Amino acid sequence: MYLSEGKQEKAISLLKSIIKEDPQYLVPYNLLGEVGIATKDYELAVDSFNSAIKINEKWWIPYRGLSIVHAAQGDRSKSIQILQRGFDQGVGIERLGLELALAQYQLGQRADSIATYEKIIADVPNSILSKNNLSMILVDDQATDGDIDKALTYVADLEDIEEAASLDTVGWVNYRAGNIAEAIEILEKAVSLAPNAAELHYHLGMAYAAEGGNLEKAKQHLKTAVESEQNYTGKDAAKAKFAQLSR
């Protein structure tokens, strides 16, 4: 309530008084760190999150908070180190791991990202999001035949999920594996569930283009993808393919 009213100092004073009364109570440390992030008092945030970790190094939340602090200051390397530190200690394997793997991939650390996702899946076999994200990495522009084969094994667990993002992953992996008919069928379902998602239209358009039997549908879906203001991986490829088919 204090924060919503712009009374940051009162919020900080309240949290510090709670900590003084019970120094082992973790919640106010985390809240104090979040206040530090919100007010850009990064020194306060770092001290608070570090204090929480010192009291209980197995609580994943302050690791994430500390990582956010360093990212907010432009130090992505330090941010990743904090996530890696918690992850290596087995803290919040899935929660910290997903953020770590994404950050690694964004920084071009593809092999590290794959290893992180595989570690999550080994420890949390039902981590659908990890299998989804890992599959998309395995079929990116650096994919080998082995990577694509591995992705096919992971998406087998996503096939029965009636959700656009999961179906899109299954369809795109099948497209990259050369299973074009299967890819089209699955991607059509994905687009029907999320008709405004430009990336899904891009994937479906590419599948129709690869099939070759219905280039008008390929152009239709690629046109939707190209004209969208949404940013997504492959937008340049969508533009290039659409231009090629429109000649």
Domains of the chain: 1-56 (1.25.40.10), 75-124 (no CATH), 161-247 (1.25.40.10)
Q: What is the pLDDT of residue 110?
A: 97
> Which two structure tokens, joined as six digits, stand for 217?
């549908």
Are 37 and 65 within 8 A, CB to CB? yes
- pLDDT tens digit sequence for 10-44: 999 999 999 999 999 999 999 999 999 999 999 99
> Tell me: the pLDDT tens digits for 105-136?
999 999 999 999 999 999 999 999 999 999 99
Q: What is the pTM of this model?
A: 0.90
* Percent of the residues in the chain that have a pLDDT greater than 70, as a whole number: 100
Amino acid identity for residue 239 in this structure? K
| DSSP annotation string for 144-183 | -HHHHHHHHHHHTTTTT---HHHHHHHHHHHHHTT-HHHH
